[in-house]
């Protein structure tokens, strides 16, 4: 019943709500933004909109620099005065993510906006080179590590300007359909991440993608509790059901998207809206470009316990598998 209700709600807002771009009077001159997954889809459109509003410096975090350069050329036509840089970023490589964050720390004199948008969707179990299931690695662990490492340059800028930095993580409304049991009661006495890395936990289809988006929402709340919102505001968003290459692995979703999906530009509006507006959105989930409740489970005692467990496991994993990140200074509340 819950899945049916969520589906009907999705149909309702996809057909009745029209995503809005940033108002023309919002200007971003003097600001620097990082957008990951920015060579295609929602990340591309979000970066393009930031450029069109006068942002001074734009860092494109992309897995394939060649594709990043193609995106850069497009943005340069929209904003010829914007300083656009293409930085390689692979969320399946600890070394790549640490190097990316180190560039942000040392090469940027300020950083105002971070849009963590890179992700993937697969219907079959795939193991990342790190040894983790691919959704766990890219959508959760990669996003979580970058969010921790990019706090420092955001905070440093905030201390100079007196304004909070902004960080937005792309989640999805499909998180409301995620199989809660896989995080609330992992089988075999395993932790959350070890259980999700086990092929026995994987059900072919979209459910693992749904679960990874729930992890994004949980991680946003976890990190928000550790950050001072006067220094860094972090939130997460549902960009809606959009037509783009992201669904190419899922023929059913791709076919259905022809009838009710928004275009990628409309999806991108949600990213920029969350990253630039809503100063009261620290730790919040936004959908339809407004703050809405997160999945109900997260407000229960079991949900809060599960959140705490996920946070502890994630940080412990980074300390073990990626000691070069030196995240200890970010782990204190």
Could you confirm whether 213 is annotated as catalytic? yes
Which candidate in 128, 209, 264, 281 is catalytic? 209
User: b/e map of 240-271 (b: 16 or more CB within 10 Å)?
Assistant: bbbbbebbeebeebbeebeeebbebbbbbbbb
Could you confirm whether 304 is annotated as catalytic? no
β-pair partners for 23: none
- Nearest partner of 110 among 54, 50, 33, judged by Cα: 33
CA neighbours closer than 13 Å in the CB half-sphere of residue 35: 31
C-alpha–C-alpha distance, residues 207 and 256, integer Å: 17
The CA-based angle 31-93-83, given to 5 degrees, is 20
Q: Please list the helix, strand and coil fractions of the chain in percent, rounded to the nearest 5, in that order.
A: 55, 15, 30
Query: What backbone torsions phi and psi does residue 238 show, to the nearest 5 degrees?
Result: -105, 110
- Residue 35, sorted as left (phi over 0), alpha (psi -120 to 50) or beta, turns out to be beta
Could you confirm whether 209 is annotated as catalytic? yes
Which candidate in 128, 158, 172, 257 is catalytic? 172
- Nearest partner of 202 among 139, 124, 130, judged by Cα: 124
Three-state secondary structure call for residue 77: helix
DSSP E strand boundaries for 146-295: 165-170, 232-238, 242-243, 262-263, 285-287, 290-292
Hey, what are 171's tokens? 């989640």
Which candidate in 72, 93, 213, 241 is catalytic? 213
State the catalytic residues: 172, 209, 213
């Amino acid at each position: 019943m819950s899945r049916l209700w969520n589906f009907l709600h999705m149909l309702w807002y996809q057909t009745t709500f029209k995503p809005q771009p940033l108002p023309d009077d919002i200007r971003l001159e003097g600001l620097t933004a990082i957008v990951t997954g920015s060579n295609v889809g929602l990340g591309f459109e979000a970066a393009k909109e930031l450029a069109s509003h006068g942002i001074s410096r734009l860092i494109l975090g992309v897995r394939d620099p060649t594709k990043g350069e193609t995106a850069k050329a497009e943005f340069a036509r929209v904003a010829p005065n914007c300083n656009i840089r293409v930085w390689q970023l692979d969320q399946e490589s600890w070394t790549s993510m640490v190097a990316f964050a180190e560039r942000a720390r040392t090469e940027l004199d300020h950083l105002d906006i971070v849009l963590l948008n890179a992700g993937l969707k697969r219907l079959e179990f795939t193991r990342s080179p790190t040894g983790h299931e691919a959704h766990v690695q890219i959508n959760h662990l990669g996003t979580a590590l970058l969010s921790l490492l990019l706090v420092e340059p955001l905070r440093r800028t905030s201390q100079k300007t007196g304004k909070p930095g902004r960080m937005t993580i792309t989640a999805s409304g499909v998180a409301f359909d995620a199989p809660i049991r896989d995080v609330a009661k992992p089988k075999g006495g395993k932790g959350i991440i070890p259980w999700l890395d086990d092929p026995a936990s994987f059900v072919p289809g979209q459910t693992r993608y749904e679960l990874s988006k729930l992890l994004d929402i949980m991680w946003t709340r976890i990190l928000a509790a550790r950050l001072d919102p006067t220094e860094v505001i972090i939130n997460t968003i549902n960009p809606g059901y959009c037509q783009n290459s992201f669904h190419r692995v899922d023929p059913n979703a791709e076919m259905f998207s022809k009838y009710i999906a928004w275009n990628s530009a409309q999806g991108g509006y949600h990213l920029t809206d969350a990253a630039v507006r809503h100063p009261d959105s620290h730790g919040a989930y936004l959908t339809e470009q407004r703050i809405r409740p997160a999945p109900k489970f997260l407000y229960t005692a079991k949900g809060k316990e599960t959140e705490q467990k996920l946070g502890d496991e994630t940080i412990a994993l980074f300390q073990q598998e990626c000691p070069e990140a030196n995240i200890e200074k970010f782990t204190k509340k």
